[in-house]
């Protein structure tokens, strides 16, 4: 997997995608069209999720000036509880970048 002009893939994210059977296209789709957006546990990172049949697929990324740095991706069995949502002003800024 080669990092392009818009996305940068960390080695950890590549390993986790291979482990969980996730493709780069699937991760890009989750980032572009998430069902839920939250603040990540790590400061200054964003966590996005889309539900699947009996699980959720999560991606954690960081916005830089020129790229989206994908930190990790994972499958969560079941339904996770909602946590800190991101304010609407910041969501609009993120959508303008993506």
Does a structural domain hold residue 1? no
Total domain count for the chain?
1
**Domain that residue 87 falls in:** 7-97
Cα–Cα dist 55/70, whole Å: 20
| Residue tagged 């800190």 (tokens) | 84
Does a structural domain hold residue 2? no
85: domain CATH number? 3.30.2310
Query: Which residues make beta-bridge pairs with 63?
Result: 68
- Please give the model's pTM, rounded to 2 decimal places: 0.79
The sign of the dihedral angle between the CA atoms of 82, 78, 1, 98 is negative
Does a structural domain hold residue 21? yes
- The per-residue pLDDT for range 41-56, each reduced to its tens digit, is 888 899 999 998 899 9
- The per-residue pLDDT for range 63-83, each reduced to its tens digit, is 988 899 999 999 988 887 777
């Amino acid at each position: 997997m080669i990092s392009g002009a818009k996305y940068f893939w960390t080695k950890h994210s590549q390993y986790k995608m291979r482990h969980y059977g996730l493709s780069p296209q699937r991760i890009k789709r989750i980032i572009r069209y998430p069902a839920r957006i939250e603040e990540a546990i790590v400061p200054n990172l964003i966590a996005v999720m889309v539900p699947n049949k009996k699980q959720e697929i999560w991606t954690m990324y960081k916005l830089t000036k020129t790229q989206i740095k994908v930190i990790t991706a994972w499958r969560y069995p079941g339904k996770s509880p909602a946590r800190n949502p991101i304010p609407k002003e910041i969501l609009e800024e993120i959508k303008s970048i993506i």
